[in-house]
């Protein structure tokens, strides 16, 4: 590399500006990767778009983009990887909110999909979003082996040994006294698996990973995934519905075990901070390139909603 | 090729024996491609296995295996392709039977998944089966480009412009007077898209397809897919629940448009026979290798359940 160029690195964008840029990019990308609202069947496509667009903090796409910076991933591949993970996340929320599951009427400050479109459309929109996620991964430029690895990772993270499995354990645990270990296993599957997929798919958008790279990212994702849930539990116990954009205090009302109910509020906050530091430690091998991932770990632990 | 070997072709297995062999092979393959019932989360895995195993005629796997014979596809690849399509089919039945959709209590002569395991488990089992279908396609031997083409085809066939889209149109059409053209479009998506995927994934298990090969198989799949639905409508109007293994006369009771309600019974039977002949005609370019596909077209039109 030219020595002058090394010396002339561009000024690093502040985190907030970077985050807003990714969110804006992803809103457009998600919109373009979803069927148009005017295309038949229109109500299904409108429900799919309603479920995905104009909502959420886009934590998973942010993780994918941050991980993509480790290996200079191209923007097209990153957008597809991030969109696929976000579509899986969105479909899981649609199904999770349905009356036979959590029966929630409010999500991101708006009526949930089954309230707005009816249960049958919500069921189908979720199903179609899962298929769309895998479809998005197969399109565009990029190496077939790399794309196939992404499909495989996303399918594992979404299925019965990942997100769906975690939701099944969650359902079965209502009213039970879970140990801290059982609670952790549930969350590792329910939310952790997909957060890990976001990190690994982002990294895979740059290149196939070495074992050491994958292990370091796994450690980071495990710490951030768990921290995410601990903070969710803290916020559910302390924030109000308007701030959260969803019904607060629902876990206690539903008699669901949480970190706050098992450990108490103060120890849960200590744990979240410890996990933030674990996440930073896991990133040491990546040096400067991991700045965005470090900043995201900070955001996930210190968020207020 | 050695002239002696050409003259000494093995005796062709009778169709019934071939069909039973594929069904037996696929029962074992599906079982091995699903998570074990003893693995946690057990109830979810039991529901997934209940939804897939020990039931159905395996029409889609039969189509995949028959199409695989066109290009001497290997048994391992064929089993994965066929299992993936069958898992998508099985998940769609689980969700379709739920109270917010068709609200059916009986399927293949057994209680439906939500009756046996509850609605939440049925929802999750269907979701996890869809993920498992894509996972199965990424494993095993075979070319990455070919596998990625299969993932793409299956995702298209399952999503909002395929099966899910057809179900959405079906839901929206209850009580409406559909034209024959609208009914055909609905079925082309609802059942035709996945039958087409079965044929094409089976063929792709042998080799990447030329445009001419894909077009011929598309014509075959379109005719067989439509015939399948016309015969379904005829059977719903004429057979009893015990023979069908599901509730007969349900379409009329639900005020759903069918070929029988639009065309009448006799013209529907004439149409089914015409489509069977169209399917045969589409296979002419493949000659002798298409024998199983021809026999399957005959079976689909002439079945009694």
pLDDT digits (tens, 9 = 90+) for A121-155: 999 999 999 999 999 999 988 889 899 999 999 99
Helices first, then strands: H and E counts in chain A = 17, 2
The residue in chain B having the minimum alpha-carbon distance to the alpha carbon of residue A98 is B120
CA distance B46 to chain A (A): 11
pTM score > 0.90 for this model? yes
Interface of B with A in 100-129 (CB under 8 A): 100-101, 118-121, 123-124, 126-128
User: Residue B138: which of A48, A98, A152 has the nearest Cβ?
Assistant: A152
Residue B11 pLDDT: 64
Closest CA to B228 of B291, B155, B279: B279
- Euclidean distance between CA atoms B200 and B3, whole angstroms: 32
Residue A69 pLDDT: 93
Residue A160 pLDDT: 98
Backbone angles phi, psi at B177, to 5 degrees: -90, 95
- Give tens-digit pLDDT for B220-252: 999 999 999 999 999 988 877 666 666 666 766
pLDDT in tens, chain B (305 residues): 444 444 455 568 999 999 999 999 999 999 999 999 999 999 999 999 999 998 789 999 999 999 999 999 999 999 999 999 999 999 999 999 999 999 999 998 899 999 999 999 999 999 999 999 999 999 988 889 899 999 999 999 999 999 999 999 998 887 788 888 988 999 999 999 999 999 999 999 998 899 999 999 999 999 999 999 999 999 988 877 666 666 666 766 667 788 998 899 999 999 999 999 999 999 999 999 999 999 999 999 998 87
Put simply, the answer to whether A120 touches B128 (Cβ < 8 Å) is no
Q: Find chain A residues with C-beta within 8 A of B123's C-beta.
A: 95, 98, 100-101, 123
The residue in chain B having the minimum alpha-carbon distance to the alpha carbon of residue A167 is B124
> Is the torsion defined by CA of A37, A41, A47, A51 positive or negative?
negative
CA distance B241 to chain A (A): 25
- Between A250 and B212, where is the model more confident? B212
- Give tens-digit pLDDT for A191-230: 999 999 999 999 999 988 999 999 999 999 999 999 999 9
Q: Which residues contact A19 (CB under 8 A, 6 or more apart)?
A: A62, A299
Rounded to the nearest integer, the mean pLDDT of chain A is 91
Residue A5, pLDDT above cutoff 70: no
Residue A96 pLDDT: 96
Put simply, the answer to whether B138 touches A123 (Cβ < 8 Å) is no
A155 and B CB contact within 8 Å: yes
Question: Is the peptide bond prior to B41 cis by the omega test (within 30 degrees of 0)?
Answer: yes
Interface of B with A in 159-188 (CB under 8 A): 159-162, 164-165, 167-169, 171-172
The percent of chain A in helix, strand and coil, each rounded to the nearest 5, is 75, 0, 25
User: Residue B134: which of A35, A123, A155 has the nearest Cβ?
Assistant: A155
- Give tens-digit pLDDT for A171-188: 888 778 888 888 899 999
Q: How confident is the model at residue A245 (pLDDT cuts 50, 70, 90)?
A: low
Q: Which fold has domain B14-302?
A: Farnesyl Diphosphate Synthase (1.10.600)
Q: Which residues contact A284 (CB under 8 A, 6 or more apart)?
A: none
- The CATH H-level superfamily of A17-302 is Farnesyl Diphosphate Synthase (1.10.600.10)
- Euclidean distance between CA atoms A40 and A90, whole angstroms: 21
- Give tens-digit pLDDT for A43-97: 999 999 999 999 789 999 999 999 999 999 999 999 999 999 999 999 999 999 9
Q: Find chain B residues with C-beta within 8 A of A120's C-beta.
A: 100-101, 171
User: Residue B159: which of A101, A132, A161 has the nearest Cβ?
Assistant: A132
Residue A2, pLDDT above cutoff 60: no
Residue A176, both tokens: 């039970």
> Among A112, A135, A186, A197, which would you mutate to test the B interface (most chain B Cβ atoms within 10 Å of its Cβ)?
A135
């Amino acid at each position: 590399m030219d020595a002058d160029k090394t010396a002339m690195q561009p000024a690093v964008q502040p985190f907030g500006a970077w985050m807003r840029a990714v969110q804006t990019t992803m809103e457009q990308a998600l919109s373009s990767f979803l069927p148009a609202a005017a295309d038949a069947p229109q109500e299904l496509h409108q429900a799919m778009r309603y479920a995905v667009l104009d909502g959420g903090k886009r934590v998973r796409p942010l993780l994918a983009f941050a991980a993509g910076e480790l290996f200079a991933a191209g923007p097209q591949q990153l957008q597809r990887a991030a969109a696929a993970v976000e579509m899986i996340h969105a479909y899981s929320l649609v199904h999770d909110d349905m009356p036979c599951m959590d029966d929630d009427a409010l999500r991101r400050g708006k009526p949930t999909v089954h309230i707005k479109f009816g249960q049958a459309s919500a069921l189908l929109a979720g199903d179609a979003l899962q298929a769309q996620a895998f479809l998005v991964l197969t399109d565009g430029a990029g190496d077939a082996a790399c794309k196939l690895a992404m499909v495989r990772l996303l399918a594992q993270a979404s299925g019965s040994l990942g997100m769906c499995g975690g939701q099944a354990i969650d359902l079965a645990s209502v009213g039970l006294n879970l140990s801290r270990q059982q609670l952790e296993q549930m969350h590792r599957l329910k939310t952790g698996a997909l957060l890990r997929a976001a990190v690994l798919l982002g990294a895979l958008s740059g290149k196939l990973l070495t074992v050491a790279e994958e292990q370091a990212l796994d450690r980071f994702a495990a710490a951030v995934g768990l921290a995410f849930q601990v903070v969710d539990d803290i916020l559910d116990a302390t924030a109000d519905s308007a701030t959260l954009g969803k019904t607060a205090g629902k876990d206690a009302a539903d008699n669901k075990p949480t970190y706050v109910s098992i450990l108490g509020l103060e120890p849960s906050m200590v744990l979240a901070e410890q996990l933030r530091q674990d996440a930073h430690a896991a990133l040491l091998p990546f040096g400067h390139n991991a700045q965005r991932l470090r900043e995201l770990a900070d955001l996930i632990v210190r968020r207020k909603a």
